[in-house]
A and B are shown apart, each in its own frame.
Chain A
């Protein structure tokens, strides 16, 4: 089956630092999303990005579908960025999103 791997699994940053989270997948996809799960469990949509680059404030994401990876950039991190970041991919020709195991981010004040 498809593999969705996220790295790093854990990340600790000082407030104000920048970071890059990576999502590798093993098959061609037609949908890809990045989520932030807050401490209360809510999954918040960050980006819908099956290909290309998008930016939203301090966050940006790039997906290179031909090379089967996506990157999430967080700049000038804040303590409210803490939580778990998931990527989820939908394989072409299917209707199921497969979630990665997540990157747990902690931003220290």
Chain B
């Protein structure tokens, strides 16, 4: 595997379900990110991790719970979601958190539908 991978690619869940999204980067990067892309809206940054430490929680509701067990893996745990949480969830990684050069690479995304 190369680059950034995400599983599952598609997920349909009820509002009472608990599910997890997984992201893995094979680039040796030190920073990882979760973004949300809703229809007709710009990408919204949700969480940022640097060297497994969370450095940003962009006012995300607690029904989204991130986890970064090591610098290669990032999870997004979902519980009691709302229909408006339906969106494309994108994971990204970069070599470093700040400074330059700092190019981000994205996974293919998980398309989530909440019924």
**Residues of A with Cβ closer than 8 Å to B?**
30-31, 33, 35, 40-43, 45, 48, 50, 86, 88, 90, 94-97, 99-102
Complex Cα–Cα for A35 and B109 (A): 14
State whether A31 touches B101 (Cβ < 8 A): yes
B73 close to A (CB within 8 Å):
no
Main secondary structure of the interface of A (DSSP, over half): strand
Contact-size category for B: 20 to 34
| A-B residue pairs in contact (CB < 8 Å), sample of 11 | A30-B99, A31-B100, A41-B109, A42-B106, A43-B106, A86-B43, A95-B55, A95-B98, A96-B45, A99-B42, A100-B42
Complex Cα–Cα for A43 and B88 (A): 11
State whether B55 touches A88 (Cβ < 8 A): no
State whether A90 touches B48 (Cβ < 8 A): no
